[in-house]
Amino acid sequence: MVCSISDVESSTNINTNQSQLHEFKAVQCYDLQEKISDNKVIIDRPATILVFDIETTGFSHQNERIIEFALCDLIGGKNNTFQTLVNPEKDVPNTDVHGISSYMVNRPDVPRFKELAPILIQYVRSHQMAGKPVIWVSHNGRRFDVPFVIKEFQRCSEEVPADWLFVDTLPLARQLVKSDGRSGITSLTPANQIVLWNHKVLSVQLLSSITVSDFRQGSKLTSFSLKALREHYHIPLVGPAHRAMQNVTTLCYVLQRITCDLKVNVPELMSRAFRASDIL
């Protein structure tokens, strides 16, 4: 069933003791401007950043359909994740790829994309900062995820909101390979602090399965795939393989590691963004 705003569970609802949280306190690699107003610190973020992934019935965005959609708001907070199956109104021929069968999605209680679209837009708006764009981050998004999303909106006679921008992490992976493709832990303090790219919630979510030893020295990266990046950074697999939310979780960690390794800050990341109209 569709996850409405009130139904989406926050990834912060994890039973983690306070000593663990203190030990793994996140150090942010996110350019922020702090303003002092009435003795309060106001963090001025340049954009809302959402990491997302989809599963589909095939490779052609013209003929195939989205069957799963997942995202994570890197700012964290309440209801910072969103995921749902999507009714494609057609058979699913590639269950072996993602484990999603026709029976799982071709049901009256699973939303079609035209029913999901307004809920998704409402969810994003509830997380969007006034006057700031939304940056959607995906891996190989320019050739795969984004064209699928655009086509699904077109089928609903809707347009992708003009303030939605997209960033593909595939060029970052190519840049990492070009720079020899080796990396280690970006920052490791005596207090065992793991650097997270402004998404403390994920550090809480994965504490039960991730330790400092999991983030070993990266080997030479020889492929651009998300799987290769996960193995390169020794990021543990969390959740079912090849499902949308598992890919989102992996990409959140890859994003913080690769941007720190390449010294790419948020404004520079935004400069790499493209609009839906750029690939129509």
Catalytic residue set: 242
The CA distance from 50 to 241, in Å, is 21
Sign of CA dihedral 41, 270, 123, 107: negative
Nearest in space to 64 (alpha carbons), one of 98, 102, 90: 90
C-alpha torsion angle, residues 138, 142, 144, 147 (rounded to 10): 110
Residue 206 is given by DSSP the state T
Q: Where are the alpha helices (DSSP H) in the chain?
A: 18-23, 95-98, 102-105, 113-127, 145-155, 170-178, 200-205, 226-232, 244-261, 266-271
Q: Where are the alpha helices (DSSP H) in 52-167?
A: 95-98, 102-105, 113-127, 145-155
Per DSSP, the three-state class of 42 is strand
The CA distance from 72 to 49, in Å, is 8
The answer to whether residues 70 and 85 touch, using CB atoms and an 8 Å cutoff, is: no
Stated as kind and residue range, the H or E segment containing 41 is strand 40-44
The CA distance from 207 to 125, in Å, is 30
DSSP 15-38: ---HHHHHHT--EE-S--EEEEET
